[in-house]
């Protein structure tokens, strides 16, 4: 998956991205909302290897990319899309997740990355519905998903995160009409 936004270059993950990605993967502040505990650089290297293998699978079922700042190409986070989690009950054609390093929070970069991902899903993958979930305690992520044009669907118990989560959905027709033209 490759796309660009006003401030980001989103490109497929590479082995050499592990050190930069470990910045958020090692952070307890990031991990508290994710399905992983703070991890070592070696753990992140294994995770990156898994992402690369997923990207190379045929037929392709997942797209994992890094978020890079323009014009420096600094890796600041990850975004990935694949087939939906069973907890979502078949509500969407694809689902996604993302994470940013703490020092990049609160700048609108998450919303920008998610809008670009939705555009990729609707235009390139030609899917009709895309979902995402976040822990109910992660109000900032819920706001990112809403600002990106996704609709709240329901709250459910997320077994991966061991707690309640919000489920959001974007429908291609509505999203393109209302939010697709936003930067």
For the domain made up of 3-178, give the CATH fold. Aminopeptidase (3.40.630)
Residue 179 has pLDDT above 70, yes or no: no
Closest to 8 (Cα-Cα) out of 98, 75, 96, 53: 75
Pick 35 or 18 by higher pLDDT.
18
Segment 9-25 mean pLDDT: 95
When the pLDDT of each residue in the chain is averaged and rounded to a whole number, the result is 89
pLDDT category, 103, cuts 50, 70, 90?
very high
| Residue-level pLDDT at 159 | 62
Domain ranges of the chain: 3-178
Residue 26 has pLDDT above 80, yes or no: yes
| Residue-level pLDDT at 78 | 96
Closest to 161 (Cα-Cα) out of 137, 130, 131: 137
pLDDT tens, residue by residue, 108-156: 999 999 999 999 999 999 999 999 999 898 999 999 999 999 999 999 8
Segment 92-121 mean pLDDT: 94
Residue 7 has pLDDT above 90, yes or no: yes
Residue 161 has pLDDT above 90, yes or no: no
Q: How far apart are CA 122 and CA 170, in angstroms?
A: 10
What is the chain's Cα-based Rg? 15
Q: Answer for the pair 11, 65: CB distance below 8 angstroms, yes or no.
A: yes
């Amino acid at each position: 998956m490759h796309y660009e936004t006003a401030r980001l270059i989103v490109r497929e993950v590479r082995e050499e991205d592990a050190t930069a990605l470990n910045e958020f993967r090692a952070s307890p502040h990031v991990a508290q909302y994710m399905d992983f505990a703070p991890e070592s650089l070696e753990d992140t290297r294994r995770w990156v290897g898994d992402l690369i293998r997923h990207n190379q699978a045929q037929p392709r079922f997942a797209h994992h990319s890094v978020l890079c700042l323009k014009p420096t190409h600094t890796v600041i986070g990850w975004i990935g899309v694949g087939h939906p989690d069973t907890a979502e009950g078949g509500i969407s054609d694809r689902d996604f997740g993302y994470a940013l390093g703490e020092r990049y929070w609160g700048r609108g970069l998450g919303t920008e990355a998610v809008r670009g991902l939705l555009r990729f899903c609707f235009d390139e993958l030609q899917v009709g519905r895309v979902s995402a979930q976040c822990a109910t305690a992660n109000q900032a992520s819920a706001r990112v998903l809403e600002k990106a044009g996704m609709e709240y669907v329901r709250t459910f118990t997320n077994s991966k995160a061991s707690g309640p989560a919000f489920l959001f959905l974007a429908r291609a027709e509505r999203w393109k009409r209302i939010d697709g033209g936003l930067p």
